[in-house]
Amino acid sequence: MRCRSAKAGVASGINNAVASLASLLAVAIFGAVALGAHNAGLDRGLSVQTISAETRQAVAEARGKFVIEVSACRATSGRPRR
């Protein structure tokens, strides 16, 4: 079905808005799934490793965050700071 040329701009705008919303939802859902998978993998990996209490605490505090402070990681890793 063809729409009149006067309504073509409105249809295009609605189509663009729906496509943008779908992209936004896809990225949000993918991010949530990826974060959940990462946390599950981290739990599995930490359960078989022997690590210090400080490192466990740093990992627990960083859980669910996309950005962590690098100096906090270096302070608990046992490596000397630069």
- Model confidence, pTM: 0.54
Which pLDDT band holds residue 2 (cuts at 50, 70, 90)?
low
30 burial type by CB count under 10 A (0-12 exposed, 13-18 middle, 19+ buried): exposed
Torsion of CA 26, 28, 32, 33, to 10 degrees: 10
> Rounded CA gap, 8 and 62, in Å?
49
Q: What is the per-residue pLDDT across 29-80, written as a single tens digit (0 to 9) for each?
A: 998 898 888 888 888 888 888 888 888 888 888 777 766 566 655 555 555 5
Instruction: Tell me how far apart the alpha carbons of residues 73 and 80 are, in angstroms, rounded to a whole number.
Output: 11
* Overall average pLDDT of the 5-28 stretch: 90
pLDDT reading at 10 higher than 80: yes
